[in-house]
Structure 1
Amino acid sequence: MTLLPIHTLIKPIRTAFNQCNQMILEAPTGAGKSTALPLAMLDWDEIDGKILMLEPRRVAARNVAQFIARQRGSALGDEVGYRVRGESKVSANTRLEIVTEGVLTRMIQRDPELTGIALVIFDEIHERHLTTDLGLALALEIQSSFREDLKLLAMSATLAGLPLAKLMPNAAMLSSEGRSFPVEQGYRAAPVQAKWLEHMAKVILEQLAIHSEGSLLAFLPGQGEIHKLHSMLAPRLAADKFSLCPLYGSLPAKAQDIAIAPAAKGIRKVVLATNVAESSLTIEGITQVVDSGYKRQASFNPKTGGTRLSLKRISQASAAQRSGRAGRLMAGFSTRLWSQEEQGRLNQADEPEVVHTDLISMVLDGAYWGVKALNELPLLTLPSPANENVAWQLLASLEMVDTKRAITAHGRAAYELGCQPRLAHMLLTAKELSKQDGNDNLAVLACIIAGTLEARGRSRKGADISHYFAETLASESAKQIRQWINTLKLNCSAGQGLAAVARSAASDDIAMLLAFAYPDRVAKMRGVSGYQLAGGTGVELPSEDALAGQPWLVIADFQETEGRSSGKVYLATPLNEQLFTEQLSGLVDTIEYGGWDDVKGRFFAENQRRIGQILLSKTPIKTLDKQLIKNAIVEQVKLKGLGLLKFDDRTEQLRFRVAIAAKFDTSHDWPALDDAALIASLDEWLSPYLDDVRNIGQLQKLDCYTLLQNIMPWATQQQLERLLPTKWLMATGTHAKIEYDAEHRGRLNVRLQEAFGMQESPKLANGKLVVTMELLSPARRPLALTADLASFWQGPYEHVKKEMKGRYPKHLWPDDPANTQPTKFTKKKTFNSQ
């Protein structure tokens, strides 16, 4: 440990912390920042309190804690311990605690002064996990408000693309060398990209044959690919020579330990891992890496409320981290399954989670902390505005925040349960109903459902969530379920009591509870295998699934996939429609709706019972209300477009002129009159003029020019006339028409003889727009199009004159048009008038 590169910085780090309380440390793979540094800090007298170190991944947190404990010669959980969600090894003697998965943020929320904590270390901050970004933001707030003595250390393998210095401008900056042996880098792109997994299996077998010593680490995007590759390799690798070890986040701890531990004597390990093995984790004996170059990224879709899983290329920084695994212990070999040319086109660094993931838990954290928007926190990267707005709206619908985004008592209770906000709402609601019934079984069932939904790793037994209850109770999730039962103070004996509740759970109760958590995912059958969610989006259930054909479902888990229009249902339960008149009546809205009947050619009005965008029933309203009719017209225009209004040429010209004015004149606030803007603002400019409109014919007679013109104040209308007139006064007294177009051009139409004597085209918009002149024949047929009259007179005019002189001999065709008096008459009339 004393030979690791970080040891050359131990003294500078110690000195720097005696001068300031913030530090940024860049230390590449193998430097020892995650192990040797916190190990040394345990002996620093000036650190008067506990050290917290945040590790983004559970497997790394456990592994690092175990390693440092061994180095100290103490039992895990004594001087050195760890705390991850649902599992902890700490005691009153613990001085170094490795934490992860939002544990730090909850520690801060419970104790904003972090009593007894002297130093917080943020390891692998370059991975940009949501919980890491939030934890750093809250720690900075604490340091600036309550705890100026609190020391903060942000550590990263690379600072490329990481705005840490901007967020922490007064921090000491230190950089360490990495410790890695030479890694021979190769590129083996798949001949057929669609078969990259088969290609990977082939490359792994080749590399194991070429290099007869050392173990191999293969990076794959997800658990599914790991199992597929495992099945390809297992028959072709002798069990007495090779050990195939999967490694991913939801794998049980014992299986993770097997993947990380040294191989048995005479055995070479082949570790099939996700990106959990990228950093802060040394897998014993690895000398070879084969990298697929892929990761699986979950991106939240704010329009549907679902998450889309997509296969994406990793970044250059991630590729470097992966290759470096081969050189941690000795010289190694790395093979990338893409071309060297593609390597140069990869993104420099990974995109932070805060810009593409579901933010509901982070927003509840923010509300609990007291902010009304996440940008009030000192975040490394601002979140997606669309994703954040959806999160606030959902919290409001679950009554966790009020209209001013202040957290409610219900929201506080939900946060303190420590689970996903939707599930927390379900648990608390179930507890209230159980209290009314005098029986806690419903609330216990809610705990079992929540545990099933939060379980890591699940077998495949179809979409019916009840099929997984027994499996959940036999897994690690049972511990979390019992913890919720204790927190909620429910009456249920562990073991047999839980199993009995799960076995006897009524379908209606399961549906009701899931609807509390996912009111926007109540779903009605549509077509053969499709369902429409109350939120509006569509999902599909495999036709062979036991739930297929159920008229109503509550969807607990669905995912969108690139290239598919409908999400795929993973967990659901059948729903009895009768619940909408009983326990779930609160989900039903009754509204008055007016619409247009295309078949009958008239408007109609009806009372509709809806759950979100799903229509339950409707009854006609005999007396039509004016406002309903207006709403129906507006709805029709939104649906079918502005073509219903019959914009004439004058109206279209007004729209073109305003768009051009907005481009060239910033002195006025010009309205947006494009289709999207007008449809978005129909209630402002159209709806007030619909009082007497009863049918489409009357709608099309509206003076839309005046309606759009009235959007602008009088002064703005006058400015438009000055900047972009519709006519131009020629020297002959003719008011020549000017037409504008979508390309921000103006065209003046005039007979060629009336342009004699003009040296240049007119300029509009304070000289910023040169008008294109369409010069016409005496019969008003187009002859030429030019924005440069001087050049036209000197060149193209000669050709026009030769062709037109014989056809129109009575009209002037002078040799020097630029210096000829303009006229709108024939030669005879022109000369007589002179």
Structure 2
Amino acid sequence: MDALPIQSLLPQVRQALISSNQLIIEAPTGAGKSTALPFAMLDWPEINGRILMLEPRRVAARSIAAYLARNRQQSLGQDIGFRVRGDTRVGSNTKLEIITEGILTRMIQQDPTLEGVAVVIFDEIHERHLTTDLGLALALEVQASLRDDLKIVAMSATLQGLDFTKLMPQAMHLCSDGRSFPVSISYSAPPTNLRDSNTMPSWLSHMGKVILAMFNDAATLGVSEPQQRGSLLAFLPGRAEILKLQDYLASRLPQDVTLHPLYGELPAELQDAAIAPPTRGQRKLVLSTNVAESSLTIEGITMVVDSGYRRQASFNPRTGVTRLGLKRISQASAQQRAGRAGRLSAGFCLRLWPQEEQGRLAAADDPEILSGDLLPVVLEAANWGVKSLAELPLLTQPNPGNEAVAWELLAALELVDETHKLTAHGRAAYQFGASPRLAHMMVKAQLMTRGSDDQQLLGLACLLAALLAGRASGGPGCDVLDKLPSLLRGPDNHQVKQWLTRCQLRESPAHYLKAANNYDVALLLALAYPDRIARARGQAGFLLANGTGVTVDSQDALASAEWLVVADFQEQEGRSSGRAYLAAMLPPALLTTELAFLCHWQEEAGWDDAKARFSAERQLRLGKLILKREALPKVDKQLKRQALLTVIRQRGLNLLNLDDRVRQLQFRLTLAQSEDPTLFPDCSDSALLDSLDAWLGPYLDDISQLKQLAELDIYGLLLNRLSWAARQQLEEWLPGHWPMATGTHAPIRYDDSGRALLSVRLQEALGMSDSPKLLKGKLSVTMELLSPAQRPLALTADLASFWRGPYEEVKKEMRGRYPKHLWPDDPANTLPTKYTKKRMGTMSS
């Protein structure tokens, strides 16, 4: 590590940490910021306490900790250790802990003073995971309020897309050189005539063939002989593509090539094998997700093949589901991936997309906080004591719609109250360290079994939570009950035991599995996913309580169920229904017993087209599912009003009398609102539909037929929304008429393009030097100059230019057609008139 470029920067870093408590380090790939810097800090006497360094991924955290411990000739847990989910190697004297981001959040929540911690380092902060942004925000709050001696260091290979000026305005900024060797870049897009196979998409088939060529006939691709003797790192979007390509390549690779997958869910020993140096005489092929994009150095890599794809999670607030979509990577990611080939020697990178597409890629990836599911984050925020994520010092503010949905679901699960304050139930759930839904389920199971000798339901809740947190497949089909046995032998067994211990349950997972039954499974899942209780709707599959459609494979036993509770489903691009992957059959009896609290009676009214009248009924609802209906003999005014508003929203504003006066008022108000949005309301069609209750609702009580809607004075209703001051201002800025010198009040018409059109006979505009100005001089009126017969002659927004030029042609043509009217040679300096020349002469005499 003594030769790494960061070494020359260490004296400045050391001095900066003495004089400042915030530091930003920009250091390109290979600089040594993740290794040599924290290693050196261990021996700086001015750092009096532990050093926490955050890595975005578990494999990087474990790898870096192991590498540094070897360089210190120690075992893990002495001076250097790590903490990741499910694995900890830390001792009582450990000074440097490499941890994943979520670990820091929990540490701060448990001890807001971070006692004993001197420095917190955020490595690879440019990756912008939700947990990164939240961890940094909480650390900054701790530093500002409780620990002004705490040092915070933000490190990244690039600061592109990172605005630290507002978040850390006093931070010192240091830059280091990188250490990388030149990487040759080539492009090889999949042939357009390549068809998808039954098992692999065309781009993946092309990638497999290219990788084989890299090992067997690399010279044709531009790979040098030294590079071909090295190992190859291939970037793929996810686990599924890695496994498909692994299956394709396994029997086709040369004998001296060993194949290793690398992805987040892989067991630790297999991850370690993927990043270890190849054995003597062997080359490696590592098929990896973007876990190898930064932080990790995989020994022996000289070649990179980049698919150009990544999996992007996109949360849909309407369905409450995160969709994983295949997306193109950014230019920043492409650069990071290519750089993996040049860490130890000159390298070669082959990109599987057209070269001309490279410049069209996004500069950097969007931060996860803009598109991710914010439910876990808002629970952390509630436990921290804030009522909105806007109260936290975040690099990027979240998507408001996603945040609103998250708070609503927390309230529905009884984890927060209406003010977003954590409830006692929420505090108990938070302690489990599970997702909010699963934690809620386990706490509910605790309450339901309290005081009983039979703890089966609680034990089953722990099993289900581990299964769903790990998203274990456990064989074909989507019945959760069939997948529970996988917990006895899979990697999630450790998590089950942890939660059983936390719940003070002494029996083994096998004990609770043996007594598991469909009734209890459905009950517990419904507690966690009340919005995903689903009812069959014939060939169309199932309708969830949140209004979303889902399907189950026709061969699956659950396809014939009347009721389901769906624990995991994914939306499908191009389809209106999602696909269920984990579900349980729901006994209908639960809806009248343990789950009856989820069902509510409400009154609904609507317009019956067939009978041409209003109808009303009481409905027993579970979300958007209607369980029972009872007719109401009489429709009260409030119900009728809501029914009318619903009809208008469904059919549009054309049910109302939006005549020309209304449209003109809308156009004027749109222009006025652009000048002063505080004085003038938005009266566009979309805004009027959104605010129907406020401006139209009070006037619907006497409406009994839809045709009566057309008799309402909509112009008057919209005008009444304006204050007296607003009306006066509207007339001053955007009048409906313009006073001509002849005494005529010429009409001004407005349109949806923002134009104001004044129509007047040409003779009445004589002597006007320019077109009138409206809206404080910002809007030039377009003049429509008419003939004596009121037919359009010219259209101009620059009257002065018209008099100087086009008027001459108009004059020549019109003098012969209308000889009795005035067509002067100097129109700009001629008095206007409404009369013929004869009448003018009579009047002057």
Aligned to 1:7: 7
With 88-97 and 739-748 compared, the bigger mean Cα shift is at 88-97
Q: CA deviation at 1:21?
A: 3.0
- Give the counterpart letter for 2:478 in structure 1: A
Aligned to 1:132: 132
Aligned to 2:508: 494
Whole-angstrom distance in 1 between the partners of 2:711 and 2:432: 60
| Equivalent in 646, 662, 668 of residue 635 of structure 1 | 646
Deviations 1:760-781 (A, max 9, x none): 3333333333322333344433
Equivalent residues of 1:401, 1:407 under 8 A apart: yes
Superposed, which structure 2 residues align to 1:199-214 within 5 Å? Answer: 199-209=206-216, 210=218, 211=225, 212-214=228-230
Q: CA RMSD in A?
A: 2.3
CA gap of 1:755–1:527, structure 2 versus 1, over 3 A, is farther
| Equivalent in 421, 424, 431 of residue 446 of structure 2 | 431
Whole-angstrom distance in 2 between the partners of 1:732 and 1:171: 70
Whole-angstrom distance in 2 between the partners of 1:426 and 1:823: 84
Aligned to 1:696: 706
CA gap of 1:755–1:327, structure 2 versus 1, over 3 A, is closer
Equivalent residues of 2:474, 2:484 under 8 A apart: no
CA gap of 1:253–1:685, structure 2 versus 1, over 3 A, is same
CA gap of 1:723–1:151, structure 2 versus 1, over 3 A, is closer
Q: CA deviation at 1:161?
A: 2.5
CA gap of 1:796–1:12, structure 2 versus 1, over 3 A, is closer
Matched, 1:737 2:747: yes
Equivalent residues of 1:243, 1:268 under 8 A apart: yes
Deviations 1:767-810 (A, max 9, x none): 33332233334443333333334444455445445555555555
Aligned to 1:71: 71
Whole-angstrom distance in 2 between the partners of 1:668 and 1:100: 47
Q: CA deviation at 1:827?
A: 4.9
Q: Secondary structure at the match of 1:396?
A: helix
Aligned to 1:25: 25
- Give the counterpart letter for 1:702 in structure 2: L
Aligned to 2:426: 411
- Give the counterpart letter for 2:462 in structure 1: C
Q: CA deviation at 1:670?
A: 1.0
Q: Secondary structure at the match of 1:217?
A: strand
Superposed, which structure 2 residues align to 1:109-148 within 5 Å? Answer: 109-148=109-148
Equivalent residues of 1:529, 1:549 under 8 A apart: no
| Equivalent in 298, 310, 314 of residue 325 of structure 2 | 310
Aligned to 2:401: 386
Equivalent residues of 2:389, 2:398 under 8 A apart: yes
Whole-angstrom distance in 2 between the partners of 1:772 and 1:50: 73
Equivalent residues of 2:108, 2:114 under 8 A apart: yes
| Equivalent in 507, 519, 532 of residue 521 of structure 1 | 532
Aligned to 1:649: 660
Q: CA deviation at 1:436?
A: 6.3
- Give the counterpart letter for 2:758 in structure 1: L
Equivalent residues of 1:529, 1:543 under 8 A apart: no
- TM-score between the two structures when normalised by the length of structure 1: 0.94
Q: Secondary structure at the match of 1:548?
A: helix
- Give the counterpart letter for 1:219 in structure 2: F
Aligned to 2:518: 507
| Equivalent in 726, 741, 765 of residue 755 of structure 1 | 765
| Equivalent in 249, 253, 270 of residue 255 of structure 1 | 270
Q: Secondary structure at the match of 1:627?
A: helix
Equivalent residues of 2:260, 2:274 under 8 A apart: yes
Aligned to 1:236: 252
Q: Secondary structure at the match of 1:9?
A: helix
Matched, 1:710 2:720: yes
Q: Secondary structure at the match of 2:70?
A: helix
Whole-angstrom distance in 1 between the partners of 2:5 and 2:630: 77
Deviations 1:527-579 (A, max 9, x none): 52433222223333333333223232212112224444332222112223332
Superposed, which structure 2 residues align to 1:311-350 within 5 Å? Answer: 311-350=326-365
- Give the counterpart letter for 1:532 in structure 2: L
| Equivalent in 232, 240, 255 of residue 216 of structure 1 | 232
Equivalent residues of 2:78, 2:90 under 8 A apart: yes
- TM-score between the two structures when normalised by the length of structure 2: 0.93
CA gap of 1:646–1:158, structure 2 versus 1, over 3 A, is same
Whole-angstrom distance in 2 between the partners of 1:530 and 1:369: 42
Q: Tell me the percent identity.
A: 59
Whole-angstrom distance in 1 between the partners of 2:645 and 2:129: 44
CA gap of 1:729–1:611, structure 2 versus 1, over 3 A, is same
Aligned to 1:601: 612
Aligned to 2:197: none
| Equivalent in 762, 785, 789 of residue 775 of structure 1 | 785
Question: Number of residues paired by the alignment?
Answer: 828
Whole-angstrom distance in 2 between the partners of 1:549 and 1:529: 12
Deviations 1:724-771 (A, max 9, x none): 222233344333322111111122233344434444333333333332
Whole-angstrom distance in 2 between the partners of 1:832 and 1:359: 82
Q: CA deviation at 1:825?
A: 4.5
Q: CA deviation at 1:205?
A: 1.5
Equivalent residues of 1:58, 1:101 under 8 A apart: no
Whole-angstrom distance in 2 between the partners of 1:749 and 1:150: 72
Whole-angstrom distance in 2 between the partners of 1:521 and 1:701: 44
Deviations 1:78-103 (A, max 9, x none): 43222111222223233322211511
Superposed, which structure 2 residues align to 1:458-607 within 5 Å? Answer: 458-490=473-505, 492-501=506-515, 505-607=516-618
Deviations 1:163-213 (A, max 9, x none): 235433333333322222332222223333972212211221122122441
CA gap of 1:180–1:767, structure 2 versus 1, over 3 A, is closer
Deviations 1:457-514 (A, max 9, x none): 5355122222211112321212111211221223x5114313313xxx2222222211
Equivalent residues of 2:566, 2:580 under 8 A apart: yes
Aligned to 1:267: 282
- Give the counterpart letter for 1:596 in structure 2: W
Unaligned runs of 5+ in 1: none
Q: CA deviation at 1:157?
A: 1.8
Matched, 1:356 2:371: yes
Equivalent residues of 1:745, 1:771 under 8 A apart: yes
Matched, 1:720 2:727: no
| Equivalent in 181, 187, 205 of residue 198 of structure 1 | 205
Matched, 1:684 2:700: no
With 697-706 and 438-447 compared, the bigger mean Cα shift is at 438-447
Whole-angstrom distance in 1 between the partners of 2:738 and 2:31: 76
Equivalent residues of 1:455, 1:472 under 8 A apart: no
Unaligned runs of 5+ in 2: 195-200, 219-224
Q: CA deviation at 1:217?
A: 0.7
With 272-281 and 797-806 compared, the bigger mean Cα shift is at 797-806
Whole-angstrom distance in 2 between the partners of 1:667 and 1:204: 59
Q: Secondary structure at the match of 2:454?
A: coil
Whole-angstrom distance in 2 between the partners of 1:667 and 1:716: 11
- Give the counterpart letter for 2:210 in structure 1: V
With 732-741 and 283-292 compared, the bigger mean Cα shift is at 732-741
CA gap of 1:338–1:387, structure 2 versus 1, over 3 A, is same
- Give the counterpart letter for 1:232 in structure 2: Y
Q: Secondary structure at the match of 2:348?
A: strand
| Equivalent in 296, 299, 303 of residue 281 of structure 1 | 296
Equivalent residues of 1:294, 1:311 under 8 A apart: yes
Equivalent residues of 1:462, 1:545 under 8 A apart: yes
Q: Secondary structure at the match of 1:39?
A: helix
Equivalent residues of 1:181, 1:332 under 8 A apart: yes
